[in-house]
């Protein structure tokens, strides 16, 4: 049975922007998106010339069954999760919004499908699942403000996220590269692909890229 991977908008957009979206066809996994993500990456972009090309390419993968759309509405559960996540942090008594509906639905979709892998390029969502306390420093760096954290909500988030593994489009690309699904298989393709994903929105650092290069014995 193929592993189930729930995808949010950020990861699919990164892959589409870098012309790597078709590696999804080669990987033995079941890629699933909630309905709000479909609207974000297909339905709405198809109405705009600037984004139409990528949206059409992604839609083709949905038509082929490579990417499956979760058929049920997750609006109610996602709303509850958003309210929780977006009440963790505050500054001067004002709540700081950290996730959007698509990300919330992707998280809820994990539980509904029994999946435990989330494909997500958005740094804050990944931190929320892996280490929510680290978001305090992230917010301080981005906004240059003091941030308070609700520890009770953080503990609840941790319980709900138990067993969930977050991967980025860079991990998916590295896996495809390792398996020979990305050609040609050489240093320029590996490094160039990683940088392309970084510039398209994947939260990957220079250190991460160097670690990938070391893993595959690719030098400067």
pLDDT digits over 166-206, tens only? 999 999 999 999 999 999 999 999 999 999 999 999 999 99
Write down the H helix ranges in the chain. Answer: 9-17, 35-38, 49-64, 75-85, 101-113, 123-130, 135-143, 151-160, 169-178, 187-199, 206-215
Q: Hey, what domains does the chain have and what are their CATH numbers?
A: 1-168 (3.40.50.1010)
Answer with the residue of higher pLDDT: 18 or 142.
Answer: 18
For residue 84, the tally of other CB atoms under 10 A from its CB is 17
* Average of per-residue pLDDT across 76-98: 96
Q: What three-state secondary structure class fits 168? A: coil
* Average of per-residue pLDDT across 42-47: 98
Of 207, 177, 215, 209, nearest to 196 (Cα)? 209
Q: Please name the helix (run of DSSP H) or strand (run of DSSP E) that holds residue 34, with its range, or none.
A: none
75 backbone dihedrals φ, ψ, rounded to 5°: -55, -45
Is residue 144 very low, low, confident or very high in pLDDT (cuts 50, 70, 90)?
confident
Please say if the pLDDT value at position 220 is more than 80. no
Q: Buried b vs exposed e over 143-173: b needs ≥16 C-beta within 10 Å?
A: eeeebebeeebbeebeeebeebebbbbbbbb
Is residue 151 very low, low, confident or very high in pLDDT (cuts 50, 70, 90)?
very high
Please say if the pLDDT value at position 1 is more than 80. no
pLDDT value for 218:
78
* Average of per-residue pLDDT across 108-115: 96
Q: Is the peptide bond before 139 cis (omega within 30 degrees of 0)?
A: no
**Sign of the alpha-carbon dihedral angle for 168, 23, 196, 191:** positive
pTM of full prediction above 0.85 = yes
Q: Which residues partner with 30 through β-bridges?
A: 4
Pairing of strands 3-7, 29-33: parallel
- The whole-angstrom separation of Cα 24 and Cα 26 is 5
153-160: list long-range contacts, CB under 8 Å, 24+ apart. Answer: 153/84, 153/85, 153/87, 153/88, 154/88, 156/84, 157/84, 157/85, 157/88, 157/128, 157/129, 157/132, 158/132, 160/81, 160/107, 160/111
pLDDT value for 140:
86
């Amino acid at each position: 049975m193929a592993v189930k991977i729930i995808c949010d908008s950020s990861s699919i957009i990164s892959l589409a922007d870098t012309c790597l979206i078709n590696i999804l066809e080669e990987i033995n996994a079941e890629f699933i998106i909630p309905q709000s993500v479909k609207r974000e990456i297909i339905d709405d972009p198809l109405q705009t010339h600037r984004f139409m090309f990528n949206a059409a390419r992604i839609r083709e993968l949905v038509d082929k069954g490579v990417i499956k759309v979760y058929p049920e509405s997750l609006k109610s559960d996602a709303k509850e999760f958003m309210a929780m996540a977006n009440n963790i942090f505050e500054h001067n008594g004002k709540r700081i919004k950290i996730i959007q509906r698509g990300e919330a639905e992707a998280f809820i979709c994990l539980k509904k499908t029994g999946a435990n892998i989330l494909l997500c390029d958005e740094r804050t969502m990944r931190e929320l699942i892996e280490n929510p306390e680290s978001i305090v420093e992230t917010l301080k760096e981005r906004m240059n403000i003091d941030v308070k954290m609700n520890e009770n909500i953080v503990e609840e988030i941790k319980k709900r996220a138990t067993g969930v593994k977050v991967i980025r489009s860079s991990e998916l690309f590295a896996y495809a590269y390792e398996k020979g699904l990305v050609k040609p298989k050489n240093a320029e393709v590996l490094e160039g692909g990683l940088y392309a994903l970084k510039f398209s929105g994947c939260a990957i650092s220079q250190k991460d890229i160097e670690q990938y290069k070391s893993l595959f014995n690719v030098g400067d």
